[in-house]
Every structure is written in structure tokens, then in C-alpha cells.
């Protein structure tokens, strides 16, 4: 290894995600090109670099960096240049010059030990000193973390997250337990943590290593929607990732179970491995739903049929028999599930049920899993609906108990008589458990959703499991309301759900297919539809707000990543007066439509319009917003979600947002758009299934346009297989019900 030293003159290229950079440094009188992982490199830094000389066939001799260390400047010129580089928030070239002129060679000592003396300089007040102090101390801490972790492929952005999570203890924590990074920091996998651990001398067969790997594998598997992992799958994956024997993995699984870190449960002669949270969530939902289902709620002392007839007369409608059954069931039972596709009158039923309960002076709460779904529920019913998180008064944990916490729960139940939950197909096992904890034993709960939609993004198959457990009153709505039969979107949704080809291109209807065989032509057609053809067809449709492309996949020419770049160029092009920020391989620009891609329970928001709390926490997977501003000084991006809530993103959280001119069908759950355009092309068979297409077209309110191959449509409709989800919720409920029946039978026999 060789060593060079020099001042960074120019940064040719810099990748913020992985720290890779190409730069020019001046070593004495010589200009040298350096390449490699050099986190937080900035012009003006004096660096000591370790590496080797390489000869690039195109660019000539370069110094390939394997390690770097910043040399704190000791000359007045060097100090001024260092401070002018912009590496410290609040100090630019003008302020740097003033500081150096005032304190000279003592400048860095002032910043380290006497920061309050900066107020001696005109224009620097208490607020600016606080900004400089915070930035300077963080920059030093983060640089130390980066120097420690840079050889392991940990990105600068992840280093910032590590610092935010563990603070000044970051390096100590990582040295004591490298595997904590896998559990606590998004984007860091087991292999990275394992590489650090192995370099620190942790043995490959150490129980500490194997048990951390086991938890990682199960968590990854549950991230696909499962609540447990079959033992045989865990063993197979463990051997592959950990490189140890099957016996070693089995031994550590059982040890983890004995130590209370995992739960083993037998089902149909096979062992299921649970992490503790999902195990207790399934138990919690099972216990509470059965308790509510068997509770005696007493006679409501109201003639339901008369109330139904009165509602019909007032609203000039006629309910179908199944719809009347749903209304009666809600009044007569403690728990009811109402499921049905589009146009089957679920919202009208909710309105009728609510009106009856309100006549009885009962307090009704309404909620849905997402902000958009709650907003639609409010618009459709004329009554306030909240997100489930807001209903439960979500807060943020602390270092002792990170993640989401709810004020409402077993010790502080929701103060109402009836809870109506819409879009229930999106509720995962953890959210359902938290919701049911907050439901008092005397409170009715009505669960409404379309069981044929895609299941929740999070673990579990809650709505389907509850329906198939047969412990709850379930009403399936199949008849389409008369006014809905005019919509081919509704008709075709039901056709697709029944395995039939949709009716397309009927004159003056709302469901069209444009045949296109070549992927590049499909792309051009999609862009033309969004940019010109559809806005010209209906002047009320806004290109960005009202027209949404939904694709089955992320990658490829017709995947959302490529489509977003092309659509951004057309719908929100680069302009001289339009601020933008490059992050990873995405350019974020003021005016861009973006989507939050994962739940973040700690992001703070402030309300800029609408009713409700002025501020709160939590932005969730699938929330859509628009970039309002990019602050180049503070390096932040301001986003307005649903025209109501403003969130300030710094670099640390920018990897949680993505452009949203095109989104995956999975990410569109719970949303509705006036116009939906879907590229139809052959992709991975597991993704090309019926309920994916069904979910996509049911997102549209006014128009659906399919563009691509007819055979892709037929393949998706014929393929009614969906991802198998591993969940024991249904079986837990059924086992308890069967055991109760057996007990009753035994007692009868004794008598």
C-alpha cells in the first residue's frame, strides 16, 4: 500500500449513496486523480490517502483509495478554505473569512471548545451559532463513523442513520454488536454486519452470530407478508447464508426459543418459527376477536327493517337482500365483516348503518388504514374518518422502546359505541392487534373491505383469515348497484374476478385497450396518453394529479423506475429557476409528485390546511405528496402530502421517497385515481396474477386504459395463484372454536 497527501481541488463525480467519488487533489505541485470510497469528500479538504496506483485504459494513471483520513488544516489559508467548503452548515465563504480574520490560527480551537465566542463576529447570532455547533460536532462524529465503516460498504446515508440512532456511542455499539445494524438500520443486510463482525474476530460458529443470522432470515421472510417461517425453509436458507451445518442452526433455533427470543409452534406436523412480536400479535387478535364475537350486546330495541325502508325512501334507492342482511347483521352482532367488490354498495350500507346507530344516540367512530382511504371515507359519508394510527393516537417511542406507540389500548380504550373500519384488506396483523386492544368489550366493530384485493403490505392475511375462520358474521356483496352497471370499470372488475375476459373499447364507455406489442412503443403510448391524448379528451383531467400509471413491476423498460424518469422529463422538466436535488440515481425537483415507500413513525409533520391536529408524527408507505421546496442551504426537501401535511426531509430520509408519476400496483392499494393507465406485458409469472390486475383496475374512478399485449391480460386473468402467505391466525381461531364445541358436546353427554 502507498500513501499520498493533498488538498481536494475538484470533485469530478460523487455518489452519495455509496460514497464513491472521483476527484482531483493537489499533492505539492502535482495534480492527481483519485478514485474510490471517500465519504463526505468536499473541495478544500486536506486528505491523507492510502491505496495503490492503477492505470485506467481511458483516463490514465489514478490513485485507487482504500482508506482516507482528513488532516485538520493548520494554516490560516487552509482553515479558511476548509470552512468555506460548505461542509459545516451556517458557514459559507463570507462567514469563513470573517471567522478566520477574527481568530486566526485559533479558529479550530474556538469551534471545538469556545463556540460561543462566534457571537463576537457581526452577523452571527445565537441561532446561527447553534446551527454551526450542531453541524460541526455531527460532522466530526459522522466522519469518525465513516472512517470506521467505509471498508464494509456502509453508505454515507446509512452512517448518518447510525449516528442518529446511537449518537456518540455509535462506534462502541457497533463494535460490541455489529448485527444490531441489520435490525436497527434500514438497508444494511446481514452480510454487511457479518463482514464487520468477522473483521472484529467473531467466530463463524459463534451462537451470537448464528442467532443474529436466524433472526435476520425470519425478519426478511416476514417482510414478504408472512407472520412465521416454516422450520424447513429457515434451515435451508440458514445453511446458504450462514455457511454452517444444519445441526448448528437447529441448535441455535432451539436455544433462541428457550431464551424467549423465538417461538416454535407445531402445525399439521410441521414446526413454525415465529419472532416474538408476530406470535403475540396473532394470539392477541385471536383472543380479542373471539371475545367480541361471543359477547352479548343486548337487544337494540329498534325495528331494523323499518329503518332500512325509511333510509331507502329518503335516498331513493332499493337495497338488495344481501345489503339488507349486512345492515341487520351490524345491528344484531358485536362483530361483522362486509366484503364485496366495486359498485356493490358498501359505502351506502355504511351510511345506513351509521344513521341507525346515531338515531339510537350511539357514538360512531370511522377509520381506514391510510390517509387517502380515510379522506375518501369522509367525503363519501359526510362524517369524520381518521387513519387507524390517528384514531389510536400514535406517538413515537424513545431509545428504550423505539418505533410506534399508541395512547389508546387496553388501559385506555376508544370511547365510542361503534367502530367502522374501511379498506380492511390493507390491515396487517400488528395494526389489527393494536386496534383490537383499544376496542372495549362493549363496543361493536364493523369491518368493511374487498377480500379479493391484494393483501396488506405488512405481515398477515388478516381480512381473509377472519372471513375463512367462520367465527364472525360475514356478508358477501355480489350484486352490483343499478347505477354502477353503466360503468365498465365495475362490470369488468367483477368479470376479471370471476376469471372472464373484460369487455373493452365499447363506444362511450370507460374501459379501453390499446394493442401494442413492442415495449418501446408501449412506453411512447403511455407518455402520449398522459401528456396529450387524455388531457385533450377531457379538459378537467390534470396530467399530474388525475392520471396515474400503475405498473406490475419496478424494473425494466416498463417498470416504474424507468417510466418515472421519462414522465418527469415531460411533466416536470428541468428549468433554470426550478430547484432540484440529486440523490442516488434520482433527481428530485420542485413540483415533483412523490410517494413515501416505507412506514416512518418518527417523521414529523405540520398541518398546512384542513382540520385536525396542527402537528403530528408518522408518514406511511403509499402516502403521495408534492415537493414544495428544496432548501439548498439546509440541504432539505419539503413535501406536502394530501394538500394538508408538510414534512421536511433531510438527506437521511430521502431514500424513503420515490417519484410517483408511475407506481407499482402494490403501492397503489387504498388509493383511487380518476384515470388509471396500466402497461400490459409479460413479466414474472408470480406477479402476473388475477388479483393484481383486479386491484389495479379498481383504483380507477372514471377511466381505465390498458396498453400492450392481449396475451398478457389473458395470462393474468387465468393465473389465479397469488403468493402463499404463512399465517396461523385462521387456524388459531378455528381450533379454539372447535375445542369449545367439543367441551359443550362433552357436557351434554355427561348430563
Which residue do the cell numbers 363496543 mark?
Answer: 443
- Whether 748 is in a domain gets the answer no
Closest CA to 650 of 639, 637, 631, 632: 637
For residues 466 and 318, membership in a common domain is answered with yes
Of all residues in the chain, the percent with pLDDT exceeding 90 is: 54
* Cell triple for 184: 436497527
Please say if the pLDDT value at position 687 is more than 50.
yes
Contact 670, 372 (CB under 8 A): yes
For residues 196 and 265, membership in a common domain is answered with yes
User: What is the spatial distance between Cα 200 and Cα 568, in angstroms, rounded to a whole number?
Assistant: 46
pLDDT at site 525: 97
**Sorting pLDDT into bands at 50, 70 and 90, what band is 740?**
low
The beta strand positions in 328-417, using DSSP E, are 335-340, 364-368, 385-387, 394-396, 404-406
pLDDT at site 16: 61
Please say if the pLDDT value at position 747 is more than 50.
no
Contact 573, 527 (CB under 8 A): no
For residues 162 and 145, membership in a common domain is answered with no
Cα 127 from chain centroid (whole Å): 34
Residue 49 burial (10 A CB sphere; 0-12, 13-18, 19+)? buried
Give, in degrees to the nearest 5, the angle at Cα 307 between 302 and 309.
145
**Which DSSP symbol is given to 23?**
E
Please say if the pLDDT value at position 682 is more than 80.
yes
**Which DSSP symbol is given to 425?**
G
**Sorting pLDDT into bands at 50, 70 and 90, what band is 183?**
confident
For residues 527 and 663, membership in a common domain is answered with yes
**Which DSSP symbol is given to 412?**
B
User: What is the spatial distance between Cα 509 and Cα 492, in angstroms, rounded to a whole number?
Assistant: 12
User: What is the spatial distance between Cα 123 and Cα 96, in angstroms, rounded to a whole number?
Assistant: 12
For residues 347 and 380, membership in a common domain is answered with yes
* Cell triple for 719: 393465473
3 state SS of 349: helix
- Whether 231 is in a domain gets the answer yes
663 beta partners: 550
The beta strand positions in 522-680, using DSSP E, are 547-551, 580-583, 586-589, 593-596, 600-607, 615-619, 624-631, 636-641, 645-649, 657-659, 662-664, 673-680
User: What is the spatial distance between Cα 300 and Cα 294, in angstroms, rounded to a whole number?
Assistant: 17
For residues 555 and 503, membership in a common domain is answered with yes
* Cell triple for 9: 481541488
**Sorting pLDDT into bands at 50, 70 and 90, what band is 326?**
very high
- Whether 739 is in a domain gets the answer no
- Whether 726 is in a domain gets the answer no
Domain CATH code at residue 524: 3.40.50.300
Helix (H) or strand (E) holding 14: strand 2-14
Closest CA to 287 of 445, 443, 436, 447: 436
**Sorting pLDDT into bands at 50, 70 and 90, what band is 750?**
very low
Number of helices followed by number of strands (H, E) in the chain = 26, 30
**Sorting pLDDT into bands at 50, 70 and 90, what band is 431?**
very high
Q: Is 343 annotated as a binding residue?
A: yes
pLDDT in tens, 342-389: 989 999 999 999 999 999 999 999 999 988 888 889 999 999 999 999
pLDDT at site 385: 93
pLDDT at site 739: 75
Closest CA to 6 of 19, 21, 25, 24: 25
User: What is the spatial distance between Cα 412 and Cα 408, in angstroms, rounded to a whole number?
Assistant: 5
Kindly state the average pLDDT of the residues 243-269: 94
Give the contacts of 479 (CB within 8 A, at least 6 positions apart): 320, 322, 323, 344
User: What is the spatial distance between Cα 63 and Cα 48, in angstroms, rounded to a whole number?
Assistant: 12
* pTM of this structure: 0.78
Please say if the pLDDT value at position 507 is more than 50.
yes
Please say if the pLDDT value at position 150 is more than 70.
no
pLDDT at site 86: 60
pLDDT at site 140: 72
Kindly state the average pLDDT of the residues 699-709: 95
pLDDT at site 714: 96
For residues 65 and 123, membership in a common domain is answered with yes
Closest CA to 469 of 190, 727, 149: 727
pLDDT at site 745: 43
- Whether 728 is in a domain gets the answer no
Return the higher-pLDDT residue of 161 and 87: 161
For residues 348 and 432, membership in a common domain is answered with yes
For residues 267 and 344, membership in a common domain is answered with no
Kindly state the average pLDDT of the residues 577-594: 90
Phi, psi of 189, rounded to the nearest 5 degrees: -90, 180
Cα 200 from chain centroid (whole Å): 33
Q: Choose the final residue of a domain: 476, 507, 522.
A: 476
φ/ψ bin of 19: left (φ > 0), alpha (ψ from -120 to 50), beta (otherwise): left
Which residue do the cell numbers 480551537 mark?
Answer: 109
Domain CATH code at residue 49: 2.40.50.140
pLDDT in tens, 528-548: 999 999 999 999 999 999 999
Residue 542 is part of which domain span?
Answer: 488-719
pLDDT at site 584: 73
129 beta partners: none
Domain CATH code at residue 236: 1.10.10.2220
* Cell triple for 180: 444490531
Q: How many domains does the chain have?
A: 4
**Sorting pLDDT into bands at 50, 70 and 90, what band is 746?**
very low
pLDDT in tens, 18-61: 567 888 888 766 889 998 877 667 776 778 888 889 887 777 88
Please say if the pLDDT value at position 567 is more than 90.
yes
User: What is the spatial distance between Cα 330 and Cα 325, in angstroms, rounded to a whole number?
Assistant: 9
User: What is the spatial distance between Cα 94 and Cα 121, in angstroms, rounded to a whole number?
Assistant: 12
Cα 2 from chain centroid (whole Å): 45
- Whether 395 is in a domain gets the answer yes
Q: Is 346 annotated as a binding residue?
A: yes
- According to the 3-state scheme, what is the secondary structure of 206-263? CHHHHHHHHHHHHHHHHCCCCCCEEHHHHHHHHHHHHCCCHHHHHHHHHHHHHCCCEE
pLDDT at site 45: 73
**Sorting pLDDT into bands at 50, 70 and 90, what band is 494?**
very high
Q: Choose the final residue of a domain: 131, 149, 167.
A: 149
Closest CA to 455 of 722, 275, 689, 732: 722
Mean pLDDT over all residues of the chain? 88
Q: Is 345 annotated as a binding residue?
A: yes
Contact 695, 493 (CB under 8 A): no
Among 152-156, 268-272, 285-289, name the one with the lowest average pLDDT: 152-156
Q: Judging by DSSP bridges, how do beta strands 404-406 and 394-396 pair with one another? A: antiparallel
Handedness of CA 677, 683, 687, 690 (dihedral sign): positive
Q: Judging by DSSP bridges, how do beta strands 262-267 and 404-406 pair with one another? A: unpaired
Please say if the pLDDT value at position 519 is more than 70.
yes
Contact 254, 260 (CB under 8 A): no
Contact 10, 29 (CB under 8 A): no
- Whether 435 is in a domain gets the answer yes
- Whether 725 is in a domain gets the answer no
Kindly state the average pLDDT of the residues 170-176: 88
For residues 445 and 513, membership in a common domain is answered with no
* Cell triple for 500: 372472464
**Residue 314 to residues 309, 328, 350: CA-CA distances in angstroms?**
9, 18, 15
* Cell triple for 226: 408472512
Among 173-187, 276-290, 449-463, name the one with the lowest average pLDDT: 173-187
Please say if the pLDDT value at position 79 is more than 90.
no
pLDDT in tens, 382-414: 999 999 999 999 876 554 454 568 899 999 999
pLDDT at site 40: 66
Give, in degrees to the nearest 5, the angle at Cα 36 between 32 and 37.
130
Q: Is 286 annotated as a binding residue?
A: no
For residues 241 and 375, membership in a common domain is answered with no
Long-range CB contact pairs, 505-513, < 8 A, 24+: 510/700, 510/702, 510/703, 510/704, 511/697, 511/703, 511/704, 512/703, 512/704, 512/705, 512/706, 513/705, 513/706, 513/707, 513/710, 513/713
Phi, psi of 195, rounded to the nearest 5 degrees: -65, -40
3 state SS of 689: coil
647 beta partners: 605, 639
Q: Choose the final residue of a domain: 476, 502, 529.
A: 476
Give the largest Cα separation in the chain, rounded. 104
**Residue 634 to residues 352, 604, 638: CA-CA distances in angstroms?**
51, 17, 11
Closest CA to 534 of 663, 710, 702: 702
pLDDT at site 85: 58
For residues 354 and 308, membership in a common domain is answered with yes
Q: Is 344 annotated as a binding residue?
A: yes
Kindly state the average pLDDT of the residues 617-641: 88
Amino acid at each position: 500500500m502507498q500513501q499520498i497527501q493533498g488538498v481536494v481541488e475538484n470533485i469530478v463525480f460523487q455518489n452519495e449513496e455509496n460514497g464513491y467519488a472521483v476527484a482531483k487533489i493537489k499533492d505539492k505541485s502535482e495534480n492527481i486523480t483519485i478514485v474510490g470510497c471517500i465519504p463526505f469528500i468536499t473541495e478544500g479538504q486536506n486528505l491523507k490517502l492510502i491505496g495503490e496506483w492503477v492505470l485506467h485504459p481511458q483516463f490514465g494513471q489514478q490513485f485507487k483509495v482504500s482508506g482516507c483520513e482528513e488532516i485538520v488544516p493548520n494554516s490560516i489559508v487552509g482553515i479558511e478554505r476548509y470552512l468555506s467548503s460548505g461542509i459545516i452548515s451556517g458557514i459559507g465563504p463570507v462567514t469563513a473569512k470573517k471567522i478566520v480574520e477574527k481568530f486566526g490560527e485559533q479558529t479550530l480551537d474556538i469551534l471545538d471548545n469556545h463556540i460561543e465566542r462566534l457571537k463576537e463576529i457581526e452577523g452571527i447570532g445565537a441561532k446561527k451559532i447553534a446551527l454551526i455547533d450542531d453541524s460541526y460536532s455531527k460532522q466530526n462524529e459522522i466522519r469518525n463513523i465513516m472512517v470506521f465503516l467505509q471498508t464494509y460498504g456502509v453508505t454515507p446515508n446509512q452512517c448518518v442513520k447510525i449516528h442518529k440512532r446511537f449518537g456518540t456511542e455509535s462506534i462502541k455499539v457497533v463494535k460490541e454488536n455489529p448485527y444490531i445494524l441489520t435490525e436497527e438500520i434500514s438497508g444494511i443486510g446481514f452480510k454487511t454486519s457479518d463482514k464487520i463482525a468477522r473483521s472484529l474476530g467473531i467466530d463463524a460458529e459463534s451462537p451470537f452470530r448464528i442467532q443474529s443470522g436466524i433472526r435476520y432470515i425470519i425478519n426478511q421472510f416476514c417482510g414478504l407478508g408472512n407472520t412465521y417461517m416454516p422450520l424447513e425453509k429457515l434451515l435451508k436458507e440458514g445453511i446458504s447464508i450462514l455457511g454452517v451445518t444444519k445441526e448448528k442452526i437447529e441448535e441455535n433455533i432451539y436455544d433462541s426459543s428457550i431464551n424467549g427470543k423465538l417461538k416454535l409452534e407445531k402445525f399439521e406436523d410441521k414446526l413454525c418459527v415465529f419472532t416474538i412480536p408476530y406470535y403475540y400479535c396473532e394470539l392477541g387478535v385471536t383472543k380479542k376477536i373471539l371475545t367480541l364475537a361471543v359477547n352479548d350486546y343486548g337487544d337494540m330495541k329498534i325495528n331494523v327493517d323499518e329503518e332500512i325502508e325509511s333510509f331507502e325512501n329518503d335516498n331513493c334507492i332499493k337495497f338488495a337482500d344481501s345489503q339488507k342482511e349486512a345492515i341487520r347483521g351490524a345491528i344484531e352482532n358485536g362483530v361483522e365483516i362486509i366484503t364485496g367488490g366495486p359498485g356493490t354498495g358498501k359505502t351506502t350500507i355504511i351510511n345506513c348503518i351509521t344513521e341507525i346507530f346515531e338515531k339510537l344516540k350511539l357514538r360512531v367512530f370511522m377509520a381506514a388504514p391510510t390517509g387517502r382511504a380515510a379522506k375518501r371515507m369522509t367525503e363519501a359519508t359526510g362524517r369524520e374518518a381518521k387513519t387507524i394510527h390517528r384514531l389510536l393516537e400514535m406517538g413515537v417511542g424513545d431509545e428504550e422502546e423505539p418505533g410506534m406507540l399508541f395512547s389508546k389500548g387496553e388501559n385506555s380504550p376508544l370511547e365510542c359505541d361503534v367502530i367502522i373500519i374501511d379498506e380492511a384488506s390493507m390491515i396487517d396483523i400488528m395494526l389489527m392487534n393494536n386496534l383490537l386492544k383499544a376496542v372495549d368489550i362493549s363496543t361493536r366493530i364493523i369491518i368493511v373491505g374487498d377480500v379479493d384485493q391484494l393483501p396488506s403490505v405488512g405481515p398477515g392475511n388478516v381480512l381473509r383469515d377472519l372471513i375463512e375462520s367462520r367465527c364472525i358474521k360475514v356478508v358477501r356483496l355480489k350484486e352490483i348497484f343499478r347505477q354502477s352497471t353503466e360503468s365498465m370499470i365495475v362490470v369488468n372488475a367483477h368479470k376479471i374476478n370471476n376469471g372472464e375476459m373484460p369487455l373493452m373499447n365499447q363506444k362511450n364507455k370507460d374501459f379501453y385497450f390499446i394493442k401494442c406489442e413492442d415495449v418501446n412503443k408501449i412506453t411512447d403510448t403511455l407518455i402520449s396518453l398522459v401528456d396529450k391524448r387524455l388531457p385533450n379528451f377531457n379538459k378537467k383531467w390534470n396530467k399530474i394529479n388525475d392520471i396515474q400509471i400503475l405498473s406490475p413491476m419496478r424494473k425494466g423498460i416498463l417498470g416504474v423506475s424507468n417510466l418515472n424518469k421519462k414522465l418527469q422529463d415531460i411533466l416536470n422538466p428541468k428549468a433554470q429557476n426550478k430547484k432540484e436535488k440529486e440523490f442516488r440515481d434520482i433527481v428530485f425537483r420542485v413540483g415533483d409528485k412523490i410517494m413515501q415507500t416505507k412506514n416512518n413513525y418518527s417523521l414529523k409533520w405540520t398541518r398546512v390546511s384542513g382540520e385536525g391536529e396542527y402537528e403530528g408524527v408518522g408518514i406511511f408507505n403509499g402516502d403521495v405528496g408534492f415537493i414544495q421546496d428544496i432548501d439548498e442551504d439546509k440541504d432539505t426537501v419539503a413535501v406536502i402530502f394530501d394538500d394538508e401535511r408538510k414534512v421536511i426531509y433531510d438527506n437521511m430520509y430521502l431514500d424513503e421517497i420515490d417519484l410517483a408519476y408511475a407506481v407499482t400496483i402494490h403501492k397503489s392499494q387504498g388509493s383511487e385515481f380518476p384515470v388509471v393507465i396500466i402497461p400490459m406485458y409479460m413479466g414474472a409469472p408470480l406477479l402476473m396474477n388475477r388479483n393484481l390486475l383486479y386491484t389495479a383496475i379498481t383504483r380507477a374512478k372514471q377511466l381505465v386504459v390498458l396498453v400492450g399485449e392481449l396475451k398478457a391480460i389473458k395470462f393474468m386473468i387465468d393465473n389465479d395463484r397469488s403468493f402463499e402467505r404463512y399465517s396461523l391466525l385462521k387456524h388459531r381461531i378455528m381450533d379454539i372454536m372447535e375445542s369449545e364445541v367439543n367441551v359443550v358436546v362433552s357436557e351434554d353427554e355427561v348430563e
